[in-house]
Structure formats: structure tokens, C-alpha cells
Amino acid sequence: MLLLKNCYLIASFDKADSEFCDSDILIEGNKIAKIGADLQASGAEVIDCSGCVAIPGMVNCHHHFFQILTRNLPGAQDAKLFDWLRYLYPIWARLDAEAILSSTMLATAELLKTGCTLSSDHSYLYPRGFEGDIMELQFEAARVTGIRFCPTRGSMTLGESDGGLPPDTVVQDTAEVLADMARVIDRFHNPEPLSLRRVALAPCSPFSVDPELMIETARLAREKSVVLHTHLAETLDEEEFCRGKYGKRPLELMADWGWIGRDVYFAHGIYFTGEELELLAQTGTGICHCPSSNMRLGSGIARVREMLDRRVRVGLGVDGSASNDSSDMLGEVRNALLLQRVRYGSTAMTAREALSIAIRGGTDLLGYPELGSIEAGKGADIAVFDVSNIGHAGGLADPLASLVFAGFDHTAKFTIVGGEVVVREGRLCRIDEAELIARANTASARLLH
């Protein structure tokens, strides 16, 4: 049992958006048992949360963990998407097992430390001759740091010689990908509520996979009841590619290939027409908004305000670390709010809306109804942020919004996943941070030289 005592504020993100001052949260096993003032529980570990705001753990719906070893690379700091990819593909082609392990540990460490408790990962790069099982390595690394993990089996099959963007050395055969997708679902996917391991399917993008793979992936995902994910409508270059190769707009292609519905969500979704937004809304097809990446690559501004008004399902993603270049989950929430205001003005998005996208939006897209709020019976995934420091002083008239508007340090004081404290006093509990940093820097240097 775990008792989070004297929280300055608990923002439950339940249906009524209840917020509780000076209250406690009792956790039994991997679930929340009770919320209230002056709770007592003999035998429980008591954690002092005075001066802190507790929120449900945030959800990262889009990332490419392996890219963390090539973040901030001088040759890719100022390029737009297609040029940026062309520069990086040959470097990523050298990924090995240690790079997958250390990058997954590093990315999940950063996410956990900034209040994310559940993350997806879009691992789409399978270099020719790679030794080892990438998804097994990733699950092993996620077990070490303690995050709840739903990686997607990504893929690229359309190499340069077939008119695609990636070099042939990093693409796979369609039949090989399909067989491995079925294998990883059977081996790793646990659909039970509150499971720590799930799998989704995610061919990379319209410009790096073939139509047969898209169609067959959708068929397989529905047979196995797993979520579908890919990049879509990220840039005008992509739109041009789709018109040139297929004579259709990106979303039209998705509709043709069966990629529409409540079990599908797309990363980015910047270049949609009004009718396309309406189609997304009517079919329950989701969007993972990635504001930092979109700004970093100069891709554009997704019309999130209009999506929310039309009731399109929206979640949040930090995106790969070579285009952010940080897995700062709380920072992503702030950027989501600010970027919508650049496009639509000061009323475009409230702090609570931005947090809600990162919390409830994410559990909805990834399909975890048992998470996403601090309520009795829900999974005990909670992030606790200290607002008693310099960065929040003078801003406590609204402590929850202060997480988004104020504060220069986004490190959670405590992060709890499935009832276990995995970040304590801002430090990872299960892994030595200095060792992880050294290991990741070594792996990064090896990749670059």
C-alpha cells in the first residue's frame, strides 16, 4: 500500500474534472483505492506530497526512441523532414542491440522523469543484418526503467530502388514484416486491463511502405484486436509524394487501404482539409499531435483547436528525439498550448485542455480505459510535481495551470506506475542515472563514428 499524503492539489481528470485541495491518495496494489482528506492506512508507505500537484500519469503516443542517440546532430539541426531523413537514415542503419537497449532506457527515463507513465514507441528501423529481436530488447529496457509500454511494430518496405525515400539497406520485405508483426503480437501483447506490455502495428509512412503492407497490416490488426498507427499529413512534401505516386491525398489513401476507424491514429495530421477533419471526427480516427517536432522541423501547425471542436480524438506525442530533441512530456503540454495560441489566439487552448489531451487523450488513443484519471478503481499511474519551488512561486492562485504556464524544471518529484514509485525525489529508482548517461553517450558515439 502507498499513501500519497497532503497533496496541495489533486487534479483527478475524472468526468467532472474534480480537483481536491490538501488531500491524500491511497493506492492498493496497482490500483487507486481512495481519495480524501486525512486518510489513514496502517502498513502503507507514506509519501509526503505537501507543496505538490498530483495528476494522472501523462501518455506519450508517438516517439522513435532510437533517435535519442542522434539528437541535436549538427548535420540535421536545420533541415526539413525529407532532407533530415535522408541525412539520418544511413546513420540509423548502424543501429545495434546495445543502441536499442540504451536508447530505450534513456528515452523512457526522460519520459518518466517528466511525468509520463505510459508510452508508445514507433520503432520502424530494422537495419539489414541486425542481430537480435528489437521488440524484445525494448521490452527488456522498459522493464528496467519501469514505464508502462505499448511499442508499435514499425516497418519500411519501400526503398529508394522502388521509388521510396529510405535507402534499401533499412527496408524489409513485405512478407517478412507481416510475419514478424503476427509474431510480436502473439509473443508480447497482453490485452488484460492494466497490463504493462501491449503491442500496436505501425508501418512507417506513405512514402516508405507499399500498399499491400498497409492493407494486410490493417487486416492483421483487426484479427488480433490491436491498435493501428502511422505518420500522416506531416508535410506538403508527403502530400506531393502521394499525389505523384498514387494520384491521391494522404487521407484518401488511408481510406482506400482500410486505415480509418477508432482503432487507428495518425501522428501529426497537419495538412487536412475541413472535409478530412470531418471524416476523422465521424469515424473516430485519432490524431497524435506533436507540437515540438512540428516546430523544430518547420512542418506547420496542426489544427488541433478545430479538431477538438469537431470532436476528433486527439492525443499528444513528443515524437522522436532527433526532431524535438527532448522527451520532456510536461514541456510538450506547454508547447501544445502555446502553438495553438500562435495559430488561433489566446483562447485557443486552456492549460487544463492541454493536460487533458496528454492524459485522457492518450489513454483513449492507445486504448487504456482503465487509466487516465485519479479515481478509486483506476490504475495507479500518477505524476506528482512540486510547485513549492522558485519556478512556481507567486503563481499558486491556480496550481494546476502553473504546471503548464510556469516552472522552468519539468522534473516530476514522484512518478508512480502501477502502484510502484519509479521516480522518487526527481531521481529514477530502478537504475543508476550516471551509468545510464555514460552508456547512452558511448552508444551514441559508436553510432556516429
Where do contacts with Zn ion occur on this chain (CB under 5 A)?
319
Cell of 201: 502495428
Given the DSSP bridges, would you call strands 116-123 and 148-155 parallel, antiparallel or unpaired?
A: parallel
| Buried/exposed 203-230: b ≥16 CB within 10 Å, e otherwise | bbbbbbbbeebbebbbebbeeeebbbbb
Nearer residue to Zn ion within complex by CB, 54 or 85:
85
Q: What is the nearest approach in angstroms of Zn ion to the Cβ of residue 158?
A: 17
Q: Which three cell numbers stand for residue 4?
A: 500519497
Chain CA centroid to CA 70, Å: 18
Cβ distance to Zn ion smaller for residue 238 or 386: 238
Q: What are phi and psi of 146, to 5 degrees?
A: 105, 15
Neighbouring residues of 247: CB distance < 8 A, sequence distance ≥ 6: none
Q: Which is nearer to Zn ion, 66 or 385 (CB)?
A: 66
| Nearer to Zn ion among residue 120 and residue 373 (C-beta) | 120
CB of 218 to Zn ion, least distance (A): 19
Q: CB-wise, 319 or 364, nearer to Zn ion?
A: 319
Nearer to Zn ion, 265 or 385 (CB): 265
Residue 289 or 410: the one with the smaller Cβ distance to Zn ion is 289
> Beta strand pairing status for 19-28 and 31-36?
antiparallel
Comparison of 77 and 389: residue with beta carbon closer to Zn ion: 77
Task: Give the three-state DSSP class for 68.
Answer: helix
Q: In the bound complex, what is the minimum distance in angstroms from residue 321's beta carbon to Zn ion?
A: 10
Q: Are 348 and 305 in contact (CB under 8 A)?
A: yes
The least CB distance from residue 204 to Zn ion, in Å, is: 8
In angstroms, give the least distance from the CB of 166 to Zn ion: 14
Q: 97-113 and 134-145 helices cross at what angle (nearest 10)?
A: 40
Residue number with CB closer to Zn ion (65 or 414): 65
- Give least dist CB 234 to Zn ion, A: 8
- Name the minimum Å distance from CB 38 to Zn ion: 46
Residue nearest to Zn ion (CB): 319
**Residue 69 CB, nearest approach to Zn ion (Å):** 16
Any idea what the Cα angle at residue 232 is, between residues 228 and 233, rounded to 5°? 155
All residues at 6 or more sequence positions from 199 whose CB lies less than 8 Å from its CB, including other chains: 135, 150, 151, 152, 153, 184, 185, 188, 189, 226
Q: Looking at 304-371, list the stretches that DSSP marks H as alpha helix, in order from N- to C-terminal side.
A: 304-309, 329-344, 351-356, 362-366
d(CA 104, CA 69): 10
Cβ atoms < 10 Å from Cβ of 332? 30
User: Least distance from C-beta 118 to Zn ion, angstroms?
Assistant: 18
